[in-house]
Amino acid sequence: MEANNLMVVNSTDGQSSEILGKFLYYSFPRLLINKKEFKELVERYGFPASKREKHSAIDAFRCATTDVKDRIVEERNGEPNIARIYFRDNKRVSGNIISRELVEETVNEETNDYRKLANVQLDRNSGDIFVTDVDCFTRRDVDGYCDKVKELYKLYLDSVGNRQIETVADKYISSLNAIKISARGYHFFIPKQYMGYIDDFEDFMEELSGMNLYAPTNKATRKEISINSMYVADDEKQRKKMATEFYLYMQKQIQDYQDKIEKLIKAGSQSNAILTRWLNRVSTLEDKKYDYEVILKQRLNDMDSEFECLRTLCDEYKLRVRAKGGYNIAA
């Protein structure tokens, strides 16, 4: 379903009985936010934190070396000569050393020529970066490229990226009893009862956008977060569309739960803690179904058979844990 098929209404009264909820859309550019400032922002808004709040040394090293690249156009024999300079993967020197090589690729008519300019290596234990095998005869600024890697490496170590920010956003949106719309990107329907929280989310995203440290080499590349929300009318047509989206969303969730519980059973898991966690997740999913029956003013019975299969799978998992003596089957 395309996002633009959802009917929206222009209204300033979010409490109007004619409003079903809000349609929320946002998209991220490449993000790089100082981890201390990000943590302070998340705490100020009271949003759920990401468990992984910074880049690992390996991630920072790969991001830094990937970002350092150049394109040089020179004239040779009256013809333009194009050289591309970038880093690519190299063989690992040892278990603790990650190495990438700086290469110059010259574009020719039939084949491209490659020239190694240096190795840049990361010591995983110390976190230090060092340069080896430098081509002393090249005209390229090898030291400049390598210094830029070290500068970006430190920046990445002190920052959080898209993965952590997306986790925070996803946790917050999930807390609003939202359903994901089956369109590309981050599209959600937020029920009327939770619409008031969207303002905080939009303010959070706008502040976060202003903190982005990533500097794209292409000036046309967007570095701001795009976010917008629109009211959805409470009429039969829109409720029918939302019911369709709800079924698609729940089918994906139930299938995902079934797959993961089956893996636990096949792996012989008998953990009471894991079982309890999954029973709570299934219960929360069923509660969401009941909530949306009220929101959409209709019974949503088409998912009953899928829920029955999920409960049967949970019962099988219970029996396995009970066999170990770790769970009360009456619970």
pLDDT recorded at residue 329: 46
pTM recorded for the entire structure: 0.75
pLDDT recorded at residue 11: 47
pLDDT recorded at residue 96: 86
Answer yes or no: do 31 and 78 share one domain. no
Nearest to 190, CA basis, from 247, 255, 256, 245 = 245
pLDDT in tens, the chain (331 residues): 445 555 555 544 444 447 899 999 999 999 999 999 999 999 999 998 877 666 789 999 999 999 999 999 887 777 788 899 999 988 666 778 899 999 999 887 677 889 999 999 999 889 999 999 999 999 999 999 999 999 999 999 999 999 999 999 999 999 999 999 987 789 999 999 999 999 999 999 999 999 999 988 777 788 899 999 999 988 888 888 889 999 999 999 999 999 999 999 999 888 989 999 999 999 999 999 999 998 888 888 888 889 999 999 999 999 988 877 655 544 4
Residue 93 lies in a domain: yes
What strand order describes the sheet that includes 19-27? 8-9, 226-233, 19-27, 186-191, 179-180
Residue 166 lies in a domain: no
Residues 6+ positions from 39 with CB-CB distance below 8 Å: 49, 53
107, 283, 315, 325 from 330: Cα distances, Å: 71, 15, 11, 13
Phi, then psi, of 18 in degrees rounded to 5 = -90, 0
Provide the phi-psi class of 113: left if phi over 0, else alpha when psi is between -120 and 50, else beta. beta
Element (H, E) at 41: helix 35-45
Answer yes or no: do 39 and 187 share one domain. yes
Q: Residue 3 half-sphere exposure, CB side, CA atoms within 13 Å?
A: 17
Phi, then psi, of 164 in degrees rounded to 5 = -70, -40
Where among 133, 157, 181 does a domain terminate? 157
Answer yes or no: do 139 and 61 share one domain. yes
Owning domain of residue 227: 1-54+172-233
Residue 163 lies in a domain: no
Q: Residue 301 half-sphere exposure, CB side, CA atoms within 13 Å?
A: 2
Residue 255 to residue 245: CA distance in whole angstroms: 16
Provide the phi-psi class of 297: left if phi over 0, else alpha when psi is between -120 and 50, else beta. left
pLDDT recorded at residue 109: 67
Residue 178 lies in a domain: yes
